[in-house]
């Protein structure tokens, strides 16, 4: 399995997940034309995209979904709540998923995970393909025990580290927005993300991509320092995803099971 980002942050998110001849895009928070240009930048032919998966209706995830799906004539998979949020419930490209059930898209198994965020029915995803497991986890206000359990035994993880609490408190956002971002249905702070990493099997985890970093309320170096402290001896596995560049293709190595 391999994956890449078209860009990550409050101005737009989109992530490619690929295994064999199946490639899906998670979210399209860019205008369709911009998303296509960014896919081509990653040497990926948009015409071979199989589907878009949508985590939730916020503009930085859903803005370009309808136009991209129409242009490429592909379906968009999303929860019923997200379809309502996007005013797309009746549109022909939309496929409603059961957010509590795993489903298959070509060579990729998709496990939706419902997360606490201020949208109607936000799902993040764990992907299994080619003997490896990749977790994508952004846009949530806190880690529930259920989420921590779903994101166990991963080979790679794309993880939100949205804000530094002090920078958020002292930053330019109005008080209501500060409460929203830092609240239980907002976004993960660097420390909250580090807490999840402390619960994970770091020997198995090959890569951790730090994503959805706030340009106003965080600093990539600060995020990296806090997350690195949660994974002593594994700090070299950290990468940063940026708003402009996203990140280039990463290959997840298929795990060889130890003989019993």
> Shortest Cβ distance from residue 220 to Zn ion (Å)?
17
Q: Report if residue 133 touches Zn ion, rule: CB under 5 A.
A: no
Extract the tokens encoding 193.
């993300």
Residue 240 burial (C-beta neighbours within 10 Å; 0-12, 13-18, 19+): middle
* 121 scored as a contact of Zn ion (CB under 5 A): no
As given in the structure block, the two tokens for residue 225 are 């320092």
End-to-end C-alpha distance for the chain, whole angstroms? 25
Residue 234's φ and ψ, nearest 5 degrees, are -125, 15
Query: From the CB of 260, what's the least distance to Zn ion, in Å?
Result: 42
Tell me the C-alpha distance between 24 and 191, whole Å.
30
Q: Give whichever of 49 and 54 is closer to Zn ion, judged by the CB atom.
A: 54
Q: CA–CA separation, 116 vs 140, rounded Å? A: 5
Compute how many other C-beta atoms are within 10 angstroms of the C-beta atom of residue 137: 25
In whole angstroms, the minimum distance from the beta carbon of 70 to Zn ion comes to 23
Nearer to Zn ion, 121 or 139 (CB): 139
Task: Give the distance, in angstroms, between the CA of residue 117 and the centroid of all CA atoms in the same chain.
Answer: 13
Residue 63 found at the interface with Zn ion (CB under 5 A): no
User: Does 139 sit near Zn ion (CB under 5 A)?
Assistant: yes
Is 34 one of the binding residues for Zn ion (CB under 5 A)? no
Instruction: Output 14 or 154, the one with its CB closest to Zn ion.
Output: 14
Query: Which range of residues in 93-101, 137-145, 174-182, 249-257 is near Zn ion by CB under 5 A?
Result: 137-145
Apex 135 CA angle, 129 and 137, nearest 5 = 150
Task: Tell me: does residue 160 bind Zn ion (CB under 5 A).
Answer: no
Q: How many chain residues interact with Zn ion (CB under 5 A)?
A: 3
66 binds Zn ion per the rule CB under 5 A: no
User: What are the tokens at 41?
Assistant: 């930048």
Closer Cβ to Zn ion, 141 or 228, answer by number = 141
Binding mask 43-62 for Zn ion (x = CB under 5 A): ---------------x-x--
Cα–Cα distance, 164 to 173 (Å, whole number): 13
User: Shortest approach of Zn ion to residue 73 CB, angstroms?
Assistant: 26
163 sits near Zn ion (criterion: CB under 5 A): no
27 binds Zn ion (CB under 5 A): no
Q: Which is nearer to Zn ion, 46 or 141 (CB)?
A: 141
**Strand pairing category for 123-129 and 108-114:** antiparallel
Minimum distance, C-beta of residue 35 to Zn ion, in the bound complex (Å): 15
Indicate the residue among 58 and 63 with the shorter CB distance to Zn ion. 58
What b-and-e string marks burial along 141-174, b requiring 16 or more CB atoms within 10 Å of the CB?
Answer: bbbeeebeebbeebbbbbbbbbbbbebbeebebe
Residues at the site binding Zn ion, with contacts judged by CB under 5 A: 58, 60, 139
């Amino acid at each position: 399995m391999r994956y890449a980002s078209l860009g990550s942050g409050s101005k737009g998110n989109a992530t490619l997940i690929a295994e064999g001849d199946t490639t899906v895009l998670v979210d399209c928070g860019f205008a369709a034309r911009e998303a296509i240009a960014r896919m081509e930048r990653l040497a990926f032919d948009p015409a071979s995209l199989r589907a878009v998966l949508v985590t939730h209706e916020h503009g930085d995830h859903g803005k370009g979904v309808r136009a991209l799906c129409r242009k490429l004539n592909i379906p968009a998979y999303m929860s019923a709540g997200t379809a309502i949020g996007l005013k797309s419930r009746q549109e022909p490209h939309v496929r409603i998923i059961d957010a509590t059930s795993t489903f298959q898209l070509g060579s990729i198994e998709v496990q939706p995970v419902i997360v606490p965020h201020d949208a109607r029915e936000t799902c993040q995803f764990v992907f299994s393909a080619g003997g490896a497991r990749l977790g994508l986890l952004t846009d949530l206000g806190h880690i529930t025990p259920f989420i921590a359990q779903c994101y166990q035994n991963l080979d790679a993880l794309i993880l939100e580290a949205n804000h530094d609490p002090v920078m958020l408190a002292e930053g330019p956002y109005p008080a209501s927005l500060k409460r929203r971002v830092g609240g239980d249905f907002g976004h993960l702070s660097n420390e909250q993300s580090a807490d999840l990493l402390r619960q994970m099997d770091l020997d198995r985890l090959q890569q951790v991509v730090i994503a959805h970093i706030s340009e106003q309320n965080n600093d990539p170096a600060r995020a990296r320092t806090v997350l690195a402290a949660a994974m002593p001896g594994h700090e070299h596995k950290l990468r940063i995803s940026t708003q402009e560049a996203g990140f280039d293709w990463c290959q997840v190595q298929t795990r060889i099971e130890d003989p019993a």
